[in-house]
Structure 1
Amino acid sequence: MIEKLYSIGEIAAKTGVTTRTLRYYEEIGLIEPDLIKENGYRYYSERTATIIPVIKYLQFMDFNLKEIKDFIDNGDYEKKMISFKTAIARTKEEINKLKARIAVISDWDKLINESVIFHLINKEVPIKVRRHEKVDVIKYDMDFDFDYKKLILSVDFANFVSENNTTITDSVMAYYPSFKKRIEDEKNKNTTPVVCLQKTVSKIENIENMTRIEEGYYLSTYHLGAYNNIIDSYIRAENYAKEKGYTLKNEAIERFVLDYWTTTNEGEFVTEILIPIENYEKFREEQE
């Protein structure tokens, strides 16, 4: 019985691939036409076309065409098993990348939602005490000249993160060993020491490049708008602490909620200032 032959266009439509793809498969030896006429027209039997579902299925498993050809041509089952193990390892790596991507997107979405609230109320944000949970972050020491764009979008910090084979997520943070020195340095137009902090999607091997924001009670205030008058928000926080009888620690964190990563409009920036309270638990006990 003579098997029916199909033109390249017909077999392409039947198998769901393009004629260009079929020609390339022929070029690399994955498929051979049953008949090539003098005019160059190619014809395929249905039996010949059965290789196409195998190719498509292996492509779904992330095999490239070279790997597919080796898999089909090679009768060594041990090598086939190695091929599958390689594909599994590659797929797991891709899953980890997708998990990291979801984490980064989710954290960024939360920051935008957090900032939208302050733009909606459109008034001075009240100062409050909030408990901050401990969080491990990557750290990068810098001399800060109060150019916030260079700090937040630091090329050096980005390279440092890449060297540590990790991905950053959530807000960029600036840690100052002394917020009073930070204020004075800005007033005097001096550079000031700062540690750039950010959460990472995965742990890094070199623990010396990690630090921890300790859990505890922090005085929290949000600075809205450009950074040129952020000192006013520090002064507001200090005055509030004096009124309440809180003793503030030296250090402070600026947490950039809405910044240059999301918008170029500095009037829309939202920055949380966090200053740890030294005696809050004792103070609260005395009040009770």
Structure 2
Amino acid sequence: MKIKNRIVLGFSLILSVLLVWYLFVKECDYCISFEIKTSTGTVFQGIQEWSNVQLKNDKERYTILEKRNFDFIRQEMVKGKTKMEYNWEMKYVNDSTTKVNVGIKELNHSIYNRLTAPFFKTPFKEEQIKKIVDFRNGLDNFLKNFKVKIKGEVTSQEAFVAYINIKCVLQEKAQSLIMRDGDITGFLRIHNIKIIGRPYIEIVNWDLDKEKLVFNYCFPINKNTQIIEDSIVKFKTLKAVKGLGASYFGSYRTSDRAWFALRDYAKENGYELENTPLERYLANPFDGGDELTWEAQIVIPFKKK
């Protein structure tokens, strides 16, 4: 066989393999990428909240098939006879930017979409571009509602506290505080125990996979206070914690966005964090006012560097 024929045959085999991979092996029909100025975890939470809105507004039902470490989520979307898969991958770029890659696959028309989407403005392609652009714009608008400032290494203050234990999913942290606030403040008021500082929440366990929290809702009191035995309200010393710190400004419903920013910062700077954030709320949401002036101080302990 002549050298020219071998080269042609070799290229033909390579093209055949690539074509088979593209049509039958490649995970998505079409991929859309964009960058956004926030943490990977904030994008992750935004996807889940956006999916709930899509169900309400467009009757699109999203089911999570797989998720990982707040930087990957795979969903199936069903609307009538249409079935889609969305693979969202969030990549840390720097302490203020995340790159998002969205792989999209239509389960009933996959091969057709792969043949047409790269070259033509098909309804599939136009609809997916519009959908992801709308998601990005919605997330951009949401990001205007809070700010996070990374402080680096910090140490919290020791405090003697009265506290109650709360269990909830991550997304319901603020609602759980509101619902249980009267349990502890009422107890302190009845027993004439004076609150002498702003409240804390001490995360005891953060299950990243299930997005569940166990935490203590704490109010600083005088360390000489007589301890009163109670089945709900307990007392202890909240020890000083050394870790990575941040200031969060905004509604306390989404103060966990500072946790995600600190996780990204830790990865970039070689820290290994515990899953036990400590938050201290410096404003009282019951007083109202501009949410962007509500500050929370966040510390997440690190294991090592």
TM-score for both structures, normalised by structure 2: 0.43
Higher helix share: 1
Higher strand share: 2
TM-score for both structures, normalised by structure 1: 0.46
